[in-house]
Amino acid sequence: MRLCLLVCLSLLGGPSAFAATAMVAVANNFYGPMKALNADFSQQTEHSLLLSTGSTGQLYAQIINGAPFELFFAADRRRPKELQAKGLGSGAFTYAQGSLVLWSSAENVDLVDRLMQQDFAHLAMADPKLAPYGLAAQQSLSKMQLWQAVQAKLVLGKGINSSYQFIASGNAELGFVAKSQIFQQGQYSKGAVWEVPKHYYKPILQDAVILHKGQHNPALTAFLNYLKTERAQAIIKSYGYQ
């Protein structure tokens, strides 16, 4: 009788009877693309994601301390590998390569000249100890022989969302952010932008890792399959990722 009831419910309810939700931790730089992916994924399937964002270092610490995430999209390769080594995850894979940009919310600004001349009161960037994009910014400033010179003017955020807010609000005249934060549908949204040359910093290869709490979640399995589709890849590329 119980089996018959389950079969009948599945026939009446269709796929929605088996809809599931996965809890996903997403590094700040990929939060915008992930929201777009989740919206499309939810339309294509009966499943959905619950998203939580922060710096890679913050999310990593939360996972270590027992946060109930099932999938982790980091902004580096190191943390997913460390989670695997600790027995907390498996199946790490590279999902994108990010780009660093110097950005000002003001229009028509020669950013390179202002940076080289140190013509600013505040320069925003993410904390290099917490965020891979902050580390890339530090490497770039070192490459330009400016790292020591700008120390007194640095405004460090816990992640690049904080850096973005510092610049957008005008509390910092310029700063380093992820290209994905200001680039959508093939164009920059506003302000002045300088794409930092790739050889100024180590490649920002971004890995995701399946956490043990999510190994048997059908929503997670469906989303990983969705990520391989052309429509998902198009969304990711539209935010400036390689």
Give the pTM. 0.82
**CB neighbour class for 147 (10 Å; exposed up to 12, middle 13-18, buried from 19):** middle
Give the DSSP letter of residue 28: G
Is residue 133 within 8 Å of residue 176, measured between CB atoms?
yes
pLDDT value at position 5?
36
Going residue by residue through the chain (242 aa), what tens digit of pLDDT does each one get?
Answer: 443 433 333 333 444 447 899 999 999 999 999 999 999 999 999 999 999 999 999 999 999 999 999 999 999 999 999 999 999 999 999 999 999 999 999 988 899 999 999 999 999 999 999 899 999 999 999 999 999 999 999 999 988 899 999 999 999 999 999 999 999 877 898 899 999 999 999 999 999 999 998 889 999 999 999 999 999 999 999 998 97
pLDDT value at position 49?
96
Instruction: List Cα–Cα distances, 26 to 11, 169, 209, 239, in angstroms.
Output: 35, 24, 11, 15
Looking at 45-91, list the stretches that DSSP marks H as alpha helix, in order from N- to C-terminal side. 56-64, 78-85
pLDDT value at position 150?
96
Beta bridge partners of residue 96, listed in sequence order:
206
Q: Which helix (H) or strand (E) holds 6?
A: helix 2-13
**CA–CA separation, 76 and 74 (whole Å):** 5
Beta bridge partners of residue 222, listed in sequence order:
none
Pairing mode, if any, of strands 21-27 and 71-73?
Answer: parallel
Among candidate residues 234, 233, 226, the one with its CA nearest the CA of residue 46: 226
Among candidate residues 18, 72, 25, the one with its CA nearest the CA of residue 222: 18
pLDDT value at position 4?
42
Domain range 100-200, CATH architecture: 3-Layer(aba) Sandwich (3.40)
16-97+204-238: CATH topology is D-Maltodextrin-Binding Protein; domain 2 (3.40.190)
Contacts of 6 (CB under 8 A, 6+ apart): none
Give the DSSP letter of residue 183: E
pLDDT value at position 159?
86
16-97+204-238 and 100-200 share one fold: yes
pLDDT value at position 7?
36
All structural domains of the chain with their residue ranges: 16-97+204-238, 100-200
